[in-house]
């Protein structure tokens, strides 16, 4: 008797694992976004250009969205 593939995702352990893995990956992504801010800051200090402040602002906005995504996932999941 074949089992229904959707029954696999109805298991509470599998759902917990997927939620935990998603949150862990989002935390790693937020850490990566914070590292990008540091790297952009170092780049701006090394290469003095007119676009350095714009790139730094984009990196900060990217990190803010990454952190907000974690909070959104906590609310949804």
> What per-residue confidence (pLDDT) applies to 13?
85
> Which portions of the chain are predicted below pLDDT 70?
1-3, 5-6, 8-9
| Cβ proximity of 62 and 36 under 8 Å | yes
**Domain ranges for the chain:** 41-77
| Cβ proximity of 65 and 34 under 8 Å | no
> What per-residue confidence (pLDDT) applies to 75?
94
> What per-residue confidence (pLDDT) applies to 10?
73
> What per-residue confidence (pLDDT) applies to 77?
85
């Amino acid at each position: 008797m074949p089992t229904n593939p959707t029954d696999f995702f109805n298991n509470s352990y599998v759902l917990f694992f997927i939620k935990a893995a998603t949150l862990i990956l989002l935390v790693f992504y937020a850490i990566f976004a914070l590292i990008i801010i540091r790297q952009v800051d170092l780049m701006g200090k090394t290469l003095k250009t007119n676009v350095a402040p714009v790139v730094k602002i984009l990196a900060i906005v990217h990190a803010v969205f990454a952190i907000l995504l974690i909070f959104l996932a906590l609310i949804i999941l």
